[in-house]
A and B are shown apart, each in its own frame.
Chain A
Amino acid sequence: MRLDRLTRELKVVWAIAVKDMKIYYLRTPSLMFGILFPFSMFLSFVIGRSMIISRAIPVLVAQTVFFASSTIGPVSIPLERRMQTFDRFLSAPVSLLTVLVGKTIAGFLYGIGISLIPVAIGIVFFSSQVTHLVALAIGIALSAFGFAAMGIMFASLPGQGPGEVMMPLNFVRIPLLFVSGVYVPVKDLPSWGQIASAASPLTHTIELIRLGMGGENFFEPALNVIILTFYAMAFLLAGMRFHIMNKKRE
């Protein structure tokens, strides 16, 4: 009985994810914040600097998975609230967790797909190597899920109207780039910076991806996985909590 119910819910998770993929992947905000943003930031970081590009590829991969995964939720949920299509989920016999996981999966797959592009570019054009496939795969997958859940959490904040989600999200995303070992390696940060870096999920994304592509780490891979898993669960639960608060207000 429980297995039947779980199977039914998983099928709905997939149905929601597929629906979101069809509708939101090619929308302008998804392309702008999910693809153009990370690539532009990367180019502004490397152009005019004497830097070995293959060493910077893990940064591009990490930025891409960070921005791409966390963009789909903030595009889909406010729009669905405005068009009242989100009510369809709330009046259907599916749990809120199912709905949010379905939407997270859409962001997750987007993040994975887009982040494989710089991996391929690095391998084909800049002699990057994948030295630890498992670390790279776990780093991208766990990060894609966690950041997709982060996007869902921001999109679920009570009282958020359409167009108001990206601002607070970017207010968090952009500063994280500076404390996560993206522009300055963690080992070169002051002690307070290293503490902040340890708390940032993006740090652990870059660490695993660097490990996967032949770079150095500051933190242990096990810690990277634990922190990313913790954040993924925390973001998902916070998103659920915000939706419940919204329902009480409505």
Chain B
Amino acid sequence: MKDAIVLDGLTKDYGSLTAVDHVSLNIEEGEVFGFLGPNGAGKTTTIRMLVGLTTPSEGSATVAGYDIGDDIVEVKRRVGVVPEASNLYDELSVWDNLLFSSRLYHVPKDERAARIGDLLEIFKLEDRRNTKFGRLSKGLKRRVVIAAALVHQPRIIFMDEPTSGLDVLSALSLRRLIRELRLEDTTVFLTTHYIEEADQLSDRVAIIVEGRIVIVDTPENIKLSIRGAPILEARLSQAPDQLMIRELELGGRVEFNENRIRIEIENLTGTLESLIMLASQRGIQVTDLHTLQPSLEDAFVELTGVSTEVMRVEKENRGR
């Protein structure tokens, strides 16, 4: 499979701050590639370099076979960009915004109306075609921005936090769309701080921390690489006392939240026996019991030291 995007030591410095630090990646054609990282890790800066919005300090990259330094216009012709901000013109209607995008990307005049019509249908925007962009809800705005990025039928699309700030239904709808793009062999380079989203959508994920790539692999392999041991999760009829927790910790690491308990299993039989015995001694019933593999979120927290809740709150505060 050919590479759609290749980064080779790509670096961006802002004075003494290195926002992107010698990042090297290969992304195959048709791949959905998730780019995960805490706020300020360098995800957006990386995209901005790849689409020509900012100039790298060092290193190189090719997109669709064209160098971002020497042939950036050819790169721009072949990619679509969905930025984090819904940056279309509030004063223009949905139709006029898409028409303007089609003109910017040299879509032939006789194809524009048909393509825009198709996009309105795909994104369920037909009844909003004459609505001013500024009057749309956040979710609808995102749909229009994605439609604008697809009007010239690019083979590669860069999406910077596409579902950020959206309600659940809109986010689900957009994720469905990303899956459909994958089925059409469109390469999707996606940054997100929703770990679950990266896990569900991405063929491979790169985690970037302070400008440096920490790991690049499939979500499954990343989960397995963090902890080999599975986890036993149990729900109890009441919260365990401290003594019970200490006893259980002899068998492995324990996390608990009220009446839910997680134990890192080293010996499944031994851990189960301990749990049931300690619970029954205290008159506590085990109401639910199952084993878990480490999640991508667990892997992310372990690799970056940042909890996803902290990341979400920081993002929301930045958006205010």
Contacts and interface: CB of A to CB of B under 8 A. Distances in A.
Partners in one complex: yes
Interface of A: 8, 11-12, 15, 19, 22-23, 83-85, 87-95, 247-248, 250
B55 A22 contact: no
A15 B100 CA distance: 7
Given A84-B87, A85-B88, 8 more contacts: A19-B100, A22-B96, A23-B92, A88-B101, A88-B104, A89-B104, A91-B51, A92-B105
Given A84-B83, A87-B83, A92-B76, A19 B92 contact: yes
A83 B85 CA distance: 8
A8 B106 contact: yes
Contacts of A93: 73-74, 76-77, 104-106
Closest 10 CB pairs of A and B: A15-B103, A93-B76, A93-B77, A84-B87, A92-B104, A84-B85, A23-B91, A91-B51, A91-B81, A85-B87
Given A11-B103, A84-B87, A91 B53 contact: yes
A168 B89 CA distance: 27
29 contacts: A11-B103, A11-B106, A12-B103, A12-B104, A15-B100, A15-B103, A19-B89, A19-B100, A22-B91, A22-B92, A83-B87, A84-B83, A84-B85, A84-B87, A85-B88, A87-B87, A88-B87, A88-B88, A88-B104, A90-B52, A90-B53, A91-B53, A92-B105, A93-B73, A93-B74, A93-B77, A93-B106, A94-B73, A95-B73
A12 B76 CA distance: 15
A10 to B, nearest CB: 12
Contacts of B280: none
A11 B48 CA distance: 26
Main secondary structure of the interface of A (DSSP, over half): helix
Interface in B212-263: none
A84 B55 CA distance: 17
Contacts, number: 62
Contacts of A248: 55
Contacts of B53: 87, 90-91, 247, 250
Contacts of A250: 48, 53-54
B274 to A, nearest CB: 56
Contacts of B76: 91-93
Contacts of B104: 12, 15, 88-89, 92-94
Main secondary structure of the interface of B (DSSP, over half): loop
Interface residues of B, number: 26
Interface string B84-110: 010111111000100011011110000
A94 B76 CA distance: 9
Interface in B17-67: 48, 51-55
Nearest to B79: A91
A23 B88 CA distance: 12
Contacts of B48: 250
Interface in B102-148: 103-106
Nearest to B88: A85
Nearest to B74: A93
Contacts of A84: 83, 85, 87
Of A89, A90, A95, chain B has the most CB atoms within 10 Å of the CB of A90
B87 A247 contact: no
Contacts of B87: 83-85, 87-88
Contacts of B91: 22-23
A29 to B, nearest CB: 14
Contacts of A92: 76, 104-105
B100 A247 contact: no
Contacts of A15: 100, 103-104
A48 B27 CA distance: 74
Contacts of A85: 87-89
A248 to B, nearest CB: 6
Contacts of B89: 19, 23, 85
Nearest to A14: B103
Contacts of A89: 104
A19 B183 CA distance: 35
Nearest to B75: A93
Of A15, A91, A93, A248, chain B has the most CB atoms within 10 Å of the CB of A91
A248 B57 CA distance: 9
Contacts of B92: 19, 22-23
B156 to A, nearest CB: 13
B240 to A, nearest CB: 51
Nearest to B57: A248
A85 B91 CA distance: 12
A83 B145 CA distance: 14
A12 B109 CA distance: 12
A92 B103 CA distance: 10
Of A12, A85, A93, chain B has the most CB atoms within 10 Å of the CB of A93
A93 B48 CA distance: 15
Contacts of A94: 73, 104
A17 to B, nearest CB: 11
Nearest to B104: A92
A250 B47 CA distance: 13
A8 B77 CA distance: 13
Of A87, A92, A94, A248, chain B has the most CB atoms within 10 Å of the CB of A92
